[in-house]
Amino acid sequence: MGCFVKRLLAVCSLLGLLLGSATGSAAPPAPPSLTLTTEPVLGPGGPLPEGWSTYAVWLTNAGGGELSGTLELEVKTPFSREFSHRVSAPFTLAPGARATVELPTHGYASAPADVTLSALAADGSVLATAAVPEPKPNDPLLVDFSTPSRIGPAVRNIGLFLENHAGGGVRVASALVTSPPVDPVTGDLVLPRWAAGYAPAALVVTSGKRLATLGHQELAALSDWVLAGGALAVAVERAEDLRFPPLIALAGGAVERTDAIPGLVAPTVFLEPGELTPGAAVPPGSTSRAIVSTRLGPRPDTASLLEGFAGGNLRPSPWGAVATYGLGELHLLAFDLGEPFASDRWVALKLSDLLRHAVERQVAVALPLGRTSFDSVASNAIRAELDPNRSMRWTIVVSALLLLVYAALAGPVGFWLAARRGKPLRALWQLPIWAAATLALIVTIGLVGKGIRGRARHLTLIEAGAGMERAAATRFRAFYTSASRELSVQPTARSSLIDVVSSDDFVERLLVVDRDGAHLDRLRTRPWATTVVRDDGFATLAGGISIVRDETGDLAVHNRTARDLVGAVLKVPGHGFFAFGRIGDGKVVHARDGEALSSSIGVPSMYSRLHPLGSMLLGPTLDKYAEGLGSALAAVEAQASETDFWPDDVPVLIAQLDGGEGKLKDTGYELDRDRVLVRVLGFGGLP
């Protein structure tokens, strides 16, 4: 009996184990060993603009085995699939290892975007997820490289009166201040590796000591951002900071300390938004905020420490000294970011005023690097300009004529000929033959017009400071395919960022980040449709384009780009516009030798301070020198509608580079049009 009971208990135990394993009552699985954290590279509390920005992702493998998979950052609008994209990056982590990955992404102009981050295994299962900080509104952003920021508490949320160039009056904004995160492993700042990653920022503030600690790639991205129109303010705390080669390059030569300009220590009037009170002045275009003027000078202890700088291209400014570098500015501050300056209200107001200045000068750049929207309706003008279907309208005319001929032959003419031969019913069985022949001809014409092979087209705008050998370039790369294809599109260079420009239909693609940069993978095209990819990067101009005054005071343009300039238009401040059919490489032309153009070009509208490009007025003249140049300028003008194309105080040159960039293919497709436009601003360069 006892033996029987023991056997029964053993059987019950076995059944219990089997049932337990079947019902999942076994021990819970081990917790995942991968942890993720993320925040914007320019610091928490920053915006996710409609242009480029980047996120830093920290990965930690706390387990005992190797981990590999793919990071995936997805950005989408809540109610529409049309505006969404994914960014991925492969990773492999040894046991106990840590890594930092930078992922570029962008928002949308149509609606706020939701951002999610996850790590996926090879089979698609989720290894880990991370909470992504909610982005802030797109107010002017000051990025302080000090961590923690000593100026942030004083400058943050200061109200700014910004000139409303497009509609007149002013608009009110609040200053945002962020600081980049610190890598927990190395202790270094995590900064954008792509210049377009600085697109959300209007002003970057740093000390010379911190600037000297940046890595080569991070320093190159920062310098390129300034070249493309950014504003960098440097507080010089040590004498050796002025001997830092990149700082000398930004300043245009050797720099030395001088005394602060007398006007710097005098009280300054600062304008801030305030509450409405009886009798308060209300700015035009604003009914809810009043102007509060504050007259303030530096405290005596800070005034005694202010200093100035001279050398290179530096000139005195209300903030110390400033030098133009490309389209951007380098500011050497008259004060540093420590005590006693950080606690002086005058310093905080000075920095907010510098932020205002940096924001307002951006209007002179047509396509600021990485800042333009990817889903704007204005991008339809670019697509239309690059769409080969626009040049196939002749097929519609020919097809219409064929249908008219068919209607005549298959109708009255056909029955008349059949009746004349005494067989009127013959026309009835001839109708299908006429219809089939006409259909075949129309289909053949359509195939000939649209083509059976894919092709590519480029439209590039290079915006440069006068005399600069390198400049920011926005490239629109269009792909036209006769069938649905999956493409892998590489950027022009590792320093470029690319994505699809689309304002209507969703285009499936994946932005992959690896050691070679960021490229588009699985880009799905549609038959006989044009897909446009925007490439935000840089271009070289050989020796650059100089704009200087000659000995008579006339404006002279010296072309050293190693290519001819075709259809050039030069705007001379106070003297109008002049056109040149061709400016040969190495040649010099003077404004007085050009063809004077209409004085109506660039005239602002009644309610705007912006000078439009005036492509409708320029088109007939420029098309004589380069076919289609007028329509290309019209597409750029539509894309950059809120731009001051012809500023009052500086010369501007717009032209087409003969021969484009010299490329024959793009992603395996023949490049049948490569149009490169160049826009040069300001004085500068060798005579």
Of the two residues 425 and 600, the one the predictor is more confident about is: 600
Report DSSP letters for 369-384, one per residue.
TTTS-SS-TTHHHHHH
Q: Is the pLDDT of residue 455 over 70?
A: yes
Sign of the Cα torsion 122, 125, 131, 132 reads positive
Of the two residues 542 and 400, the one the predictor is more confident about is: 542
State the Cα–Cα distance between residues 230 and 325, nearest whole angstrom: 9
Which residues does residue 90 pair with via DSSP β-bridges, in sequence order?
A: 70
State the Cα–Cα distance between residues 300 and 284, nearest whole angstrom: 36
Instruction: Assess if residue 18 is contained within a domain.
Output: no
SS3 string of 90-140?
A: EEEECCCCEEEEEEEEECCCCCCCEEEEEEECCCCCEEEEECCCCCECCCC
Sign of the Cα torsion 241, 244, 250, 255 reads positive
- Give the HSE-up count for residue 522: Cα atoms under 13 Å, Cβ half-sphere: 9
Q: Is the pLDDT of residue 8 over 80?
A: no
Split at pLDDT 50, 70, 90, the class of 406 is low
Opening angle at CA 282, ends 280 and 288, nearest 5: 105
Token duo for residue 103: 């992922």
Number of domains in the chain: 3
Boundary of a domain, candidates 136, 155, 175: 136
Contacts of 295 (CB under 8 A, 6+ apart): 267, 268, 269, 270
Tally Cβ neighbours within 10 Å of residue 189: 21
Q: Is the pLDDT of residue 410 over 70?
A: no
The identity of residue 532, as a single letter, is V
Question: In this predicted structure, what is the pLDDT of residue 431?
Answer: 66
Tally Cβ neighbours within 10 Å of residue 397: 9
Regarding whether 208 and 175 lie in a shared domain, the answer is yes
Regarding whether 127 and 48 lie in a shared domain, the answer is yes
3-state SS class at 617: helix
Tell me the per-residue pLDDT of 221-271, one tens digit each, with 9 for 90 and over: 999 999 999 999 999 998 899 999 999 999 999 999 999 988 898 888 888
Regarding whether 164 and 109 lie in a shared domain, the answer is no
Buried (b) or exposed (e) across 151-178, using 16+ Cβ within 10 A? bbebbbebebbeebbbeeebbbbebbbb
Regarding whether 640 and 543 lie in a shared domain, the answer is yes
Token duo for residue 438: 């006409």
Instruction: Assess if residue 91 is contained within a domain.
Output: yes
CA nearest neighbour of 195 among 204, 187, 186: 204
Regarding whether 84 and 157 lie in a shared domain, the answer is no
State the Cα–Cα distance between residues 35 and 32, nearest whole angstrom: 8
For 245-367, strand residue ranges (E) read: 256-259, 268-274, 290-296, 307-310, 315-317, 320-325, 328-333
Sign of the Cα torsion 119, 121, 125, 127 reads negative
Token duo for residue 112: 């706020």
Question: In this predicted structure, what is the pLDDT of residue 397?
Answer: 66
Q: Residue holding tokens 């009127």?
A: 424
State the Cα–Cα distance between residues 638 and 636, nearest whole angstrom: 5
State the Cα–Cα distance between residues 500 and 383, nearest whole angstrom: 11
State the Cα–Cα distance between residues 57 and 287, nearest whole angstrom: 43
Contacts of 440 (CB under 8 A, 6+ apart): none
Q: What is the phi-psi region of residue 121: left when phi exceeds 0, alpha when psi lies from -120 to 50, beta otherwise?
A: beta
Question: In this predicted structure, what is the pLDDT of residue 378?
Answer: 85
* Per-range mean pLDDT, top range of 401-405, 535-539, 605-609: 535-539
- Phi, psi for 272 (deg, rounded to 5): -135, 150
Q: Residue holding tokens 């020198």?
A: 625
Boundary of a domain, candidates 136, 167, 183: 136
Q: Residue holding tokens 């107010």?
A: 139
Q: Is the pLDDT of residue 579 over 50?
A: yes
Would you tell me the crossing angle of helices 426-450 and 393-408 to the nearest 10 degrees? 170
Token duo for residue 682: 């300001």
Instruction: Assess if residue 13 is contained within a domain.
Output: no
State the Cα–Cα distance between residues 481 and 527, nearest whole angstrom: 6
Terminal Cα distance for the chain, rounded: 115
Token duo for residue 516: 């070679």
> In what helix (H) or strand (E) does residue 61 lie, and over which residues does it extend?
strand 52-61
Regarding whether 338 and 376 lie in a shared domain, the answer is no
3-state SS class at 74: strand
CATH code, domain carrying 105: 2.60.40.10
Regarding whether 448 and 318 lie in a shared domain, the answer is no
User: Do 602 and 616 form a contact (C-beta atoms < 8 A)?
Assistant: no
3-state SS class at 428: helix
Instruction: Please tell me what DSSP assigns to residue 340.
Output: T
Instruction: Assess if residue 25 is contained within a domain.
Output: no
Which residue range forms the structural domain that includes residue 39? 30-136
Tally Cβ neighbours within 10 Å of residue 288: 9
User: Do 664 and 445 form a contact (C-beta atoms < 8 A)?
Assistant: no
Q: In what order do the strands lie in the sheet with 34-40?
A: 34-40, 52-61, 98-106
Instruction: Assess if residue 42 is contained within a domain.
Output: yes
Split at pLDDT 50, 70, 90, the class of 445 is low
Regarding whether 476 and 332 lie in a shared domain, the answer is no
Query: Strand 176-178 relative to strand 141-144: parallel, antiparallel, unpaired?
Result: parallel
State the Cα–Cα distance between residues 253 and 238, nearest whole angstrom: 18
Q: Is the pLDDT of residue 28 over 50?
A: no
Q: Is the pLDDT of residue 498 over 50?
A: yes
Split at pLDDT 50, 70, 90, the class of 640 is very high
Regarding whether 191 and 92 lie in a shared domain, the answer is no
Instruction: Assess if residue 155 is contained within a domain.
Output: yes
Instruction: Please tell me what DSSP assigns to residue 50.
Output: S
Regarding whether 132 and 225 lie in a shared domain, the answer is no
pTM for this predicted structure: 0.87
Q: What percent of the chain has pLDDT over 90?
A: 61
Report DSSP letters for 543-599, one per residue.
T-EEEEE-TTS-EEEEE-SSS-EEEEEEEETTTEEEEEEEE-TT-EEEGGGSEE--T
Regarding whether 427 and 318 lie in a shared domain, the answer is no
Q: Residue holding tokens 């993978």?
A: 521
Tell me the per-residue pLDDT of 39-65, one tens digit each, with 9 for 90 and over: 999 998 778 888 999 999 999 999 888
Instruction: Assess if residue 442 is contained within a domain.
Output: yes
Token duo for residue 498: 């690319």
Boundary of a domain, candidates 78, 107, 136: 136
Regarding whether 163 and 298 lie in a shared domain, the answer is yes
State the Cα–Cα distance between residues 577 and 602, nearest whole angstrom: 9
Split at pLDDT 50, 70, 90, the class of 208 is very high
Q: How far, rounded to the nearest angstrom, does the alpha carbon of residue 241 sit from its chain's CA centroid?
A: 31
Tally Cβ neighbours within 10 Å of residue 526: 13
Instruction: Assess if residue 519 is contained within a domain.
Output: yes
User: Do 159 and 69 form a contact (C-beta atoms < 8 A)?
Assistant: no
| pLDDT mean over 561-579 | 96
Report DSSP letters for 228-244, one per residue.
TT-EEEEE--SGGGGG-
